[in-house]
Amino acid sequence: MVTITGVGHQTCELSGKEAEGVFCTFTDGADFSGFLSWASLKQLVIMHAKQKQNGDAEDGLSIHVIEDVK
């Protein structure tokens, strides 16, 4: 599952570049919590979908957005 807790402009923890993106937590085995650019989030979602197709991921990816995200 991916939980999105906020949006903003910061350094992406995956790419190391300043970008618009989201503060999020992955709890599907990746155990990641931090800031990702929109491009990095998309990349991780696509990677997870491919793992699911190959039978490597147990469940489908669900995304949970905290209601007061600003």
Q: Tokens 């669900």 sit at which residue?
A: 62
pLDDT tens digit string along 13-61?
A: 999 999 999 999 887 666 788 999 999 999 988 887 787 777 765 666 6
Reading the block at residue 44, the tokens are 């991780």
pLDDT of residue 61: 66
Query: Which pTM does this prediction carry?
Result: 0.75
Note whether 23 and 5 are within 8 A (CB): yes
